Structure 1
Amino acid sequence: MDVLYNVVQYILGFGAAVFVPLIMLIIGLLCRMKFADAFIAALTLGIAFTGMNVVINFMTGAITPAAQGLADATGIALPTVDVGWPALSAIAWAWPYGVLCFPLLIAINAIMLTTNTTNVLNVDLWNAWTKLCTCVITYYLCSSAGMAEGLAIAMGFIAAAIQIIAELKIGDAIQPTIENVTGIPGVTVPHALMLTCTIVLPFELILQRIPAIENNKVDAKWLRSKIGIFGENSVMGFIIGLLLGAVAYRELQAALTLAIQAATALTLFPMVSKLFMQALSPISDAVGDFMKKRFAGKQLIIGLDWPILAGSNELWVTTVLLIPFELVFAFLLTPLGNTVLPFAGIVNICLAPVLLMMTGGNLTKMLIEGIIVTPVYLLASSSFAPYLTELARTFSPDSLAGIDQNAMITWATLETPDFRWSVANALSGHLPGIICFIVWVVLFVALMKFFKKRNEKLATA
């Protein structure tokens, strides 16, 4: 176990910006690309990931103090600390059995490819921790329910396996939408965050029946055509940043600084995103040609991390506009059990890609659906706080450094909160969890049918 742990940790230590391009280089060479072409494509992909992370961190660093200012202005104070995803990843990997999620992901993907139950080859192995997070939460809930240690561990890995299968299936389903939105062929996002499409589905179906919302086609291009420069990324970022800064800081210099920072981020996102297309298109073409020659009728889709979607202007406009609602809900939902004020997760990158996939970039629907679903993140992350805090104290005390010993920790915008809460509580024998998980599975089946119909329309178009 120690040897496997050290091997996996060494591989993951490269980080997504090195590990994923390395895998893509190997895939390109196996598909008979020239080394120079495969190397340039892989290198460009690494640059794209690095550039996107730089811009995301820049934007998060600018927005988080403003969120703190908004909270201070309203006097909101809650007992759970939002530590973001890095701390949760450290806690998950510190679990003694966590390393087994890495080969589990590879094995399930290989079996599903062999049995033709998926076309997705998930090379985003760096995000194996998202499966592990579900695994360790389920294990802890099962242990707390009085299950034997061995059974609790088994339940954890069953939850992880269910998530892996669901991610691959949704990766198949959303690929045409991703190609339509980004222009990048042959790639998809089999990521945990996409599972939240399941609970967004009912609201999407309702909004589709409202002509004034469904037919307005409000997206970034529409805004530019109707309101001129006010629809430009830079101007929208400046206005949103200025308004947020004015309320948070109530001081002109700080407000203007945030306005320029937001304008910078919204301008750079689509620029960096073009690198993904530049890197992935030649590899996708090579994979397609290879499959046609050797496996007639067989398609292979490359599964990557969500930043390949980050060039969407609608994604970032929605993300920023949802920030005030997150803070308001944090206060309003305290009677229902919310204990966390979002800071590290204030830029909810786990929700906006979901909304982009469900609506195809309709800004009106993205904002409405985002407002409706945001409370799920806060309530689920709050419910997990006691367990995550205890797990951190047991397996990863370093992740609690600098945090009051009486405080709890969580990730306010914990990805796929609907799936994680329902599957963990269902497998631990919690009746509401069992009911919610059954409903979730029914909705997931409906989601597959929803995307099948959409994909047929996209193919026809």
Structure 2
Amino acid sequence: MSILQDVINWLLSLGAAIFVPIIIIIAGLIVGMKIKDAVSAGITLGVAFTGMSMLISFMSEAIGPAAEAMLKSTGINLPIVDGGWTTLSAIAWSWPYAFLMFPLMIGINIIMLIINKTKTFNADLWNVWGKIFTGVAVAAVCQPYFGTAGSIAVAFVTAAVQIVFELKMADMYQYRIEKLSGIPGVTCTHKMGFTSIFMFPIDCLLKKIPALNKRFDAAVLKDKIGIFAESHVLGFILGIIFGILARYGVAETLTLGIQASCSLTLFPVISKYFMMALEPISTAISAFMNKKFDDRTLVVGLDWPFMGGANEIWLAVFLCIPVTLICSMILPGNEILPFAGIVNNAIAVAAFLVTGGNILRMCILVIIFAPAYLWVGTVMAPFISDLARSTGAVSLKAGELISCSSIDGPIQTYAFSHLFKFLDGNFFPLALCVIFVVCFIALYRYLGREEKEGREIN
């Protein structure tokens, strides 16, 4: 068991660009793909992940300092350090029971496939750290109520519930994701989509406004404002705006404009490699499942970057940056300085999914929900920092706090981890859990009707 754990930890340390393609190659061989085709698809997927990661890092490194400069000019003191998702991942993997989340995640997926309660084969094993982080949070919060052994048990039960919800969310969004991305047989199992559950009732209200209930994606925007909606021009304009707000000089502002333009131009290019890699895999898996499970269709669950070619996502990301900065300065109770998590893909992807790519409604939802990420980042900072010190995952000075300003699925993470606070008279997390379940069921039924009507038309 120790040797197996070391092997898995080593593979995980290589990152998603290597670990996920390995899983995809193995899956391809199991369902009968030729070795050369499976390896080619896996390597292409690795290229796509690496390219998307490089672009996101490039954009973050360009915009992050500009965002920090905007905040510094205000003189506001926010003591919690924003370590981004990588810090949370490092802390999650330092939990002594982290390795046990693998068999839990795989086992639940297999059982649900066998009993026909999901159509999603979750190949995104690398992001198992998201379940581990939930477990870590639950264990930390529940320790005073249930003791060490009890809190660990509750942590794994909660993680199991999250795994089930992730698979069902992947099922319900699959048809819409296929239409939006153009990639058949894939869906997203990342928990960042959970924010869309809370967005759903608000989006329903927004759709009652005539001006917001029409198709308004990047293509429509381009028709309305012409060249100014072209990826390279729009990116340049946004970069210039950020440079001006950061009080950069002319040269630095123009450089930021070109960097932002480069990012928005290349995101759709990279996304095409996801399609090249995933189409043969999804076709082979679907054919295999048709033979084994009476014409059942199996889809592959992946991390979100395969949807990264949608300009709507990046427009929402760019909007979220100044919104997050303004919120951090004026939001009561916020103590986190947005930096490493300033490029908040999580909120943009959630808004993209629930609106179907309507830019106007996405922007409104981003503005409404941006504070949730800061609040949860602030609330969770003490126990994240304590765990970082106790495990040595992150080096912190005495009294220093660390967290993340863009925790994936922040409302769900807070609600699940703090559920048992009702024992102290705090019923807010319990209420959020109830709202989550009710909205999840409503959205599940809504998307089910959408899929049924769409397939009948086609």
TM-score normalised over the length of structure 2: 0.96
Alignment partners' CA distance in 2, 1:453 and 1:74? 49
Partner residue, 1:410: 403
Partner residue, 2:207: 208
On the 8 A contact 1:419/1:440 being kept in 2, the answer is yes
> How far off its partner does 1:427 sit?
3.4
Residues 32-89 of structure 1 deviation map (CA, whole Å, 9 limit, x = unaligned): 2222222211111111011110111001110100101110122222010000111111
> How far off its partner does 1:302 sit?
0.5
> How far off its partner does 1:417 sit?
0.7
Which of 422, 443, 448 is matched with 1:447 structurally?
A: 443
Alignment partners' CA distance in 1, 2:431 and 2:364? 26
Residues 351-387 of structure 1 deviation map (CA, whole Å, 9 limit, x = unaligned): 1111111111111011001110111111111100111
Aligned pairs (5 A) from 1:325-344: 325-333=323-331, 335=332, 337-344=333-340
Alignment partners' CA distance in 2, 1:60 and 1:44? 24
On the 8 A contact 1:113/1:119 being kept in 2, the answer is yes
Residue 236 (1) aligns with residue 220 (2): no
Alignment partners' CA distance in 2, 1:331 and 1:372? 16
SS in 2 for 1:302: strand
Alignment partners' CA distance in 1, 2:136 and 2:292? 41
Partner residue, 1:198: 197
On the 8 A contact 1:220/1:314 being kept in 2, the answer is yes
Aligned identity (percent) is: 43
On the 8 A contact 1:223/1:230 being kept in 2, the answer is no
On the 8 A contact 1:177/1:360 being kept in 2, the answer is yes
The more displaced of 436-445 and 51-60 is: 436-445
Partner residue, 1:82: 82
SS in 1 for 2:221: helix
Partner residue, 2:185: 186
Alignment partners' CA distance in 1, 2:103 and 2:287? 29
Residue 117 (1) aligns with residue 117 (2): yes
Alignment partners' CA distance in 1, 2:34 and 2:162? 36
SS in 2 for 1:322: helix
SS in 1 for 2:165: helix
SS in 2 for 1:45: helix
Residue 30 (1) aligns with residue 40 (2): no
Alignment partners' CA distance in 2, 1:331 and 1:158? 37
Alignment partners' CA distance in 2, 1:457 and 1:69? 49
> How far off its partner does 1:99 sit?
1.4
Aligned pairs (5 A) from 1:326-405: 326-333=324-331, 335=332, 337-396=333-392, 398-400=393-395, 403-405=396-398
SS in 2 for 1:303: strand
Residues 282-308 of structure 1 deviation map (CA, whole Å, 9 limit, x = unaligned): 111122222223332211111111101
The more displaced of 437-446 and 166-175 is: 437-446
SS in 1 for 2:18: helix
On the 8 A contact 1:8/1:102 being kept in 2, the answer is no
Partner residue, 2:56: 56
> How far off its partner does 1:10 sit?
2.1
Where structure 2 has 5 or more consecutive residues not aligned to the other structure, the ranges are none
The one-letter amino acid of 2:113's match is: L
SS in 2 for 1:103: helix
Partner residue, 2:300: 302
Alignment partners' CA distance in 2, 1:133 and 1:349? 18
The one-letter amino acid of 1:302's match is: V
The one-letter amino acid of 1:422's match is: A
Alignment partners' CA distance in 2, 1:411 and 1:444? 25
Please give the root-mean-square deviation of Cα atoms over the aligned residues, in Å.
1.4
SS in 2 for 1:409: strand
Residue 71 (1) aligns with residue 71 (2): yes
Where structure 1 has 5 or more consecutive residues not aligned to the other structure, the ranges are none
